[in-house]
Amino acid sequence: MALAIYNTMTRAKEPFEPLVSGKVGLYVCGVTVYDLSHIGHARVYVAFDAVYRFLRQQGYEVTYVRNFTDVDDKIIARATERGEDPLALSARFIEEYHRDMDALGCLRPTLEPKVSTHMPQIIAMIERIIERGHAYVVEGDVYFSIDSYPSYGKLSRCQLDEMRAGERVQVDERKRNPFDFALWKAAKPGEPTWESPWGPGRPGWHIECSAMSCAHLGETFDIHAGGKDLVFPHHENEIAQSEAASGVDYVRYWMHNGFVNVDAEKMSKSLGNFFTIRDVLELYHPLSVRWFLLSTHYRAPINYTERTIEEAAARVYYLYQTLHDLDVALAEVKSTKDGDVVEPEMVEAISQQATAAMEDDFNTALLVSVLSEPLKLINDLLHTKKGRKRAGRLRTMARIREQIRPIFDVIGVGRGEPARILAEMRQRALRRHGLSEEHVLERVAARVAAREARDWAAADAIRDELLAAGVQLMDAAAGTDWRPVFQLVEEGGGAAESEA
RNA sequence: GGCGCCAUGGCCAAGUGGUAAGGCAGAGGACUGCAAAUCCUUCAUCCCCGGUUCAAAUCCGGGUGGCGCCUCCA
């Protein structure tokens, strides 16, 4: 088996062969920094974080570039509204973005170039495009002429004459073709501008990615990624510009992720149906969010609902509870040489299965499912009468611990101190249910007293009361513990739906 | 209107020719004062119609339904 990547350009999975053996150039389109990021953004960067982690794990030297669009209409508009300098505003949201990404456990890219610091490269590329006859200047604007580039449309497979340019937005009369797009926009009053051979102005949106990827990864590089909505026109335009400027192929593998949906509709700023990462992380642990995002293949759409995020949270809780119990058990023993590994075939297949899952177009959904059997076996060996008697149980658990670590490294979930993470998850759950830890602990103590007095009715009443509030009590030999209740059942029964 | 994607059990979700992974929920069982957690068992023929093939959820054609792009968008 070898790594295969679904290439949007060919609409097929292709064996991955880097341009330079052992090295990968990866460019992921970043955000326009004028506001907080939402879960849709989180998906892109978590998905390609897993890609980045896997490529590195496979031994590739990866140059991961992710840009910031810090010069843009929306930034200027927002800054004007607030009476703030546009670059100051974008700098602020770059910080906020980093906070979110760090919280989500996304590794920092190798480079994070900004438009504002790449004007010379952008201008040089535009000059080159003009020289080669693919762009024209109109009153200080520079437009790319798509008619000069015959293979325009090859990524999105659009036939331009059938598309409705101007259907929703007025077409600029000065364009030779309605689909021509701006490489450079002449300055308007009150906007930040940069000097150029065509007068003061600023770059069009698409040119930045071409210029910055070229500057840091070269004229041709391996992987270019982003959301599906960027296929047309953004990436299509990038290809046209870059190849018009360089004369060589731009990108070898195009990867596009599916959307995060709410009620089966794309989550987006313009629809207003978005949840910011910031808000979600108040109620759900970042690792739950990661698990949620990675438990669906990156190209498929994913629905964000209370039910789906709760399910992810429940699963992550199970994972860390298992790891916690395991670590406690292993810490107590001097040696794990207590026999042969139980179910050796399953245990030893874990790493191959994990690699195979990722090699098949980064199938993190499949990867995550590889954990099910080993985690079940650990719990069996840890908690059931039969399991606790099995020879080799300690060795088996220790071996599984080793085998699943590389999976954790790729998904970015499973590492960290389990006790701490479980505590953090409980804190989030308390917040969700509007409870305080003091209150819960007070009720737990009351129940312990009732149980000691063998007053089962009182003990059960307290348990029911907490259960209704969102806290599940668990009695064990060591004492009474609690854990969050996850909302795993569909709410409402539709009883009120079919009233005439 | 053009282009494209998708449709798998109650819910989520893998699977692109060889006879349906995994998770959640449900049911039964072990464990428990009773529970919970945990473990075991159980639970689908893949939207419809037609075709190709020894063999199709997987390929082709035609429907139906949903979504996306064609304005900024991850």
Extents of the domains making up chain A: 21-280, 306-419, 435-484
A377 CA to B38 C1' in angstroms comes to 11
Residue A363 burial class via C-beta count within 10 angstroms: exposed 0-12, middle 13-18, buried 19 and up: middle
CA–CA dist A415, A490 (Å, integer): 31
CA–CA dist A76, A191 (Å, integer): 7
- Give ipTM to 2 decimals: 0.96
* Helix/strand/coil for A338: coil
Q: What per-residue confidence (pLDDT) applies to A499?
A: 25
Neighbours of A20 (CB within 10 A): 11
Neighbours of A232 (CB within 10 A): 16
Protein-contacted bases of chain B (C-beta within 7 A): 1-6, 10-16, 21-26, 30-40, 66-74
Q: What per-residue confidence (pLDDT) applies to A400?
A: 98
CA–CA dist A379, A166 (Å, integer): 61
The set of residues, in sequence order, having a beta carbon less than 8 Å from that of A290 and lying 6+ positions away, is: A46, A104, A105, A411, A412, A413
H or E element, residue A255:
strand A251-257
Q: What per-residue confidence (pLDDT) applies to A496?
A: 28
Q: What per-residue confidence (pLDDT) applies to A494?
A: 32
Strand B–CB A453 distance below 7 A: no
CA–CA dist A43, A97 (Å, integer): 13
Tokens for A134?
């693919």
Tokens for A8?
């949007």
- Which nucleotide is closest to the Cα of A166 by its C1'? B71
What is the biggest distance separating any 2 CA atoms in chain A, rounded to whole angstroms? 90
Strand B–CB A185 distance below 7 A: no
- Angle, helices A306-331 vs A372-383, to 10°: value is 50
Taking a C-beta distance cutoff of 8 angstroms, is the pair A220, A248 a contact?
yes
CA–CA dist A229, A227 (Å, integer): 5
Tokens for A275?
């949840």
Q: What per-residue confidence (pLDDT) applies to A489?
A: 75
A220 CA to B60 C1' in angstroms comes to 37
For chain A residues 267-326, those near strand B by a CB cutoff of 7 A are 267-270, 295-297, 300-303, 307-308, 311, 314-315, 318, 321
Q: What per-residue confidence (pLDDT) applies to A159?
A: 74
**DSSP code of A451?**
H
Neighbours of A467 (CB within 10 A): 12
Say what the alpha-carbon torsion angle A389, A392, A398, A404 is, to the nearest 10 degrees. Answer: -90
CA–CA dist A201, A122 (Å, integer): 12
* Helix/strand/coil for A27: strand
Query: Measured in whole angstroms, how far is the alpha carbon of residue A33 from the centre of its chain?
Result: 17
CATH superfamily of domain region A21-280: HUPs (3.40.50.620)
Q: Which residues pair with A137 in a beta bridge?
A: A142
Q: What count of residues does chain A have?
A: 500
A385 CA to B30 C1' in angstroms comes to 9
CA–CA dist A370, A355 (Å, integer): 10
pLDDT by residue for chain A (500 residues), tens digit each?
699 999 999 999 999 999 999 999 999 999 999 999 999 999 999 999 999 999 999 999 999 999 999 999 999 999 999 999 999 999 999 999 999 999 999 999 999 999 999 999 999 999 999 999 999 999 999 999 999 999 999 999 887 776 666 555 667 778 999 899 999 999 999 899 999 999 999 999 999 999 999 999 999 999 999 999 999 999 999 999 999 999 999 999 999 999 999 988 999 988 889 999 999 999 999 999 999 999 999 999 999 999 999 999 999 999 999 999 999 999 999 999 999 999 999 999 999 999 999 999 999 999 999 999 999 999 999 999 999 999 999 999 999 999 999 999 999 999 999 999 999 999 999 999 999 999 999 999 999 999 999 999 999 999 999 999 999 999 988 889 999 999 987 654 332 222 22
- Which nucleotide is closest to the Cα of A29 by its C1'? B74
Strand B–CB A463 distance below 7 A: yes
For chain A residues 72-131, those near strand B by a CB cutoff of 7 A are 74
A300 CA to B8 C1' in angstroms comes to 14
Sign of CA dihedral A363, A368, A371, A372: negative
* Helix/strand/coil for A494: coil
Sign of CA dihedral A476, A481, A483, A488: positive
CA–CA dist A107, A52 (Å, integer): 8
Q: What per-residue confidence (pLDDT) applies to A168?
A: 59
Taking a C-beta distance cutoff of 8 angstroms, is the pair A199, A126 a contact?
no
Q: Which residue in the block uniquely carries the two structure tokens 């500057």?
A: A215
Query: Measured in whole angstroms, how far is the alpha carbon of residue A380 from the centre of its chain?
Result: 33
Order of strands across the sheet that contains A221-227: A61-66, A23-28, A221-227, A251-257
